[in-house]
Chains A and B, each alone.
Chain A
C-alpha cells in the first residue's frame, strides 16, 4: 500500500484514542504534528470522506451543542491497523536513516 499523506496520517492519529468531531480532529492533528499539519475544514472533510469510503473510520454519533450538530468519527479495526502499519513503516525508515547518519563515513 502507498504511504499515507501526512494529513491523513495525523487525522488517523487524532482518532487513535477516542471518537472526535471535525474541529477537534483538526486541532489535535495540528498539535500532534507540531503545527506542521494545518487542516482547513475543506481538506479535513475531504480526508474524512476518503477514510469513510475506504472503511477506515466510521461516524460514531451526532451531538448537539448550543444548537449546533457535531458529528463524531472513530477508527475502525481496519483504520487502526493502517495507522499501526504506517507508524511501523515510519519507525523502520527512521531507524535505517539514523543508522546511516551515525555510521562512520566510508573512505575510498
Chain B
C-alpha cells in the first residue's frame, strides 16, 4: 500500500484527508500527522467513510488548536508582563491629557474653551498628579487608588458623555487631524481598556526596594528617572501640538489620539513577538496586552475606513452607523484573537524552552530507527 503522501496524489479521498489534516497545528502534523492519516484510511470504509473521517480530522484539528491555545495562555507570565506596563501606560495616559490641554490652550477645541475649570477637571488633574507621583515613586497604594479613580471617572464620562464634555468629564474632545485615512473612536471608550490595564499594572507593581547604603539603585527604579519617562513624552507631545494647531481639530465624537499611540504598540507587539526566542517573553506579553486593550480603537477606526466610501452611496445614515458598528465588532474580535494567538505563541515558546509539553501524542517517542522494533 502506498504511503499517504504517495496516495494523496493518486486518489481524491486521501487528498481530502490530507486537506482536513491541515486543521491541526503544524507541530502536531509533524509529530503524528502521517499516523493520523494512516488510521483514517484504515478506519474509512468506502467514500462516505472518507468524508466522515475528514470531518473527524477537522474537528480533531480544531480541538488540538484550542488545546494549544489554552496551554500557551496558561504558560504566559501575565503578572510579570503587567508590571512592565506600569510606566509606559502611565506615560501614555499622561500624553493623552497633555494633548487635550494643548488643544484647549490653543483654542482648537471649543468644548472647554468657554468655561473655567470644572470640578471634573480639577479632580482629573489631581488624580493624574497622584498617579504620576505613585508610579514614579513606586508606591503601589497611591498609584492603584489614582488609577482606579481615573478609570471610574472615565467610565462615568463614557456613560454620560455630552458634546460639551460634561461637568465631570475626563474626556477631552481632541481630534488629531493627521490624514483622511485615520479615524478613531471616542477617546473615553478607547482609553477604558487601557486604563483598566493600568489599574491592574499598578496593583501588581513592585514596591520600591529599600535604599541600601553603597548599593546604587538600577536606573529604572530611580524616582527621578521614572518621573522623566512619564512626563517628558507628554510635555514634548503637548508642546508639539500647541505649535502645530493644524493637526488638532474640534472633535465631537471621535479622536485619533489613542488609536495612533496604540498602533505603535501594536507594531511593537508583532515585532517583539517575532523575536521571542531571544527570551523577551515578558516584553512580548506586555505588548500583546496593550494590543488587546487597543483593539476597540483599531477596530473602530478600521471599520470607518473600510465603510467610508459607503457614505456617498447610502443615504440612510442609521444604516451606515449600524454597519460601522457591526464591522467594528467583527474586527475587534479578529484583533483580539490575533493578540490572544500571539500570547499563546509566547507561552508555547516558554514551554518549549523548558523541555516541551506532553500534550501532543507522539512527542514522547520520536519516530526513528532507534525507536522502532520489528513485529514478532
Contacts and interface: CB of A to CB of B under 8 A. Distances in A.
Nearest to B57: A42
Contacts of B367: 62, 69
Given A41-B60, A62-B371, A22 B35 contact: yes
A108 to B, nearest CB: 49
B361 A48 contact: yes
A46 B64 contact: yes
A49 B359 contact: yes
Interface string B46-69: 000000110111111101100100
A41 B40 contact: yes
Interface string B327-363: 0000000000000000000000000000000111110
A43 interface: yes
15 contacts: A40-B57, A40-B60, A41-B40, A41-B60, A42-B56, A45-B36, A49-B64, A49-B67, A49-B361, A62-B365, A62-B371, A64-B372, A67-B3, A68-B1, A69-B372
B19 to A, nearest CB: 13
A68 to B, nearest CB: 6
Contact of A71 (B1, B3, B360, B362): B362
Contacts of B365: 59, 61-62, 71
A22 B39 contact: yes
Given A49-B361, A53-B359, A63-B372, A42 B3 contact: no
Of A42, A59, A65, chain B has the most CB atoms within 10 Å of the CB of A42
Interface string A27-70: 10000000000011111111011001100001101111111111
Q: How large is the interface on A (under 10, 10 to 19, 20 to 34, 35 or more residues)?
A: 20 to 34
Contacts of A63: 372-375
B182 interface: no
B32 interface: yes
B240 interface: no
Given A22-B35, A52-B364, A41 B373 contact: no
Nearest to B366: A62
Contacts of B59: 40, 42-43, 46
Contacts of A13: none
A63 B367 CA distance: 10
Given A46-B64, A49-B359, A39 B3 contact: no
Interface string B12-49: 00000000100000000000101111111011000000
**Residues of B contacting A: mostly:** helix
Of B20, B43, B64, chain A has the most CB atoms within 10 Å of the CB of B43
B375 A40 contact: no
Contacts of B375: 63, 65
Contacts of A53: 358-359
Given A41-B53, A52-B364, A59-B364, A46 B358 contact: no
A71 to B, nearest CB: 6
Interface in A73-103: none
A44 B39 contact: yes
B73 to A, nearest CB: 16
A21 to B, nearest CB: 8
A108 B40 CA distance: 57
Contacts of A45: 32, 35-36, 39, 60, 361
Given A52-B361, A61-B373, A63-B372, A41 B39 contact: yes
Given A22-B35, A62-B367, A62-B372, A42 B60 contact: yes
Counting from the closest, the 3 A-B pairs by CB-CB distance are A40-B56, A42-B60, A42-B56
A95 B314 CA distance: 69
A66 B374 CA distance: 11
B361 A40 contact: no
A39 B43 contact: yes
A42 B34 contact: no
A26 interface: yes
A40 B3 contact: no
Contacts of A9: none
Contacts of B61: 42
Contacts of B56: 39-43
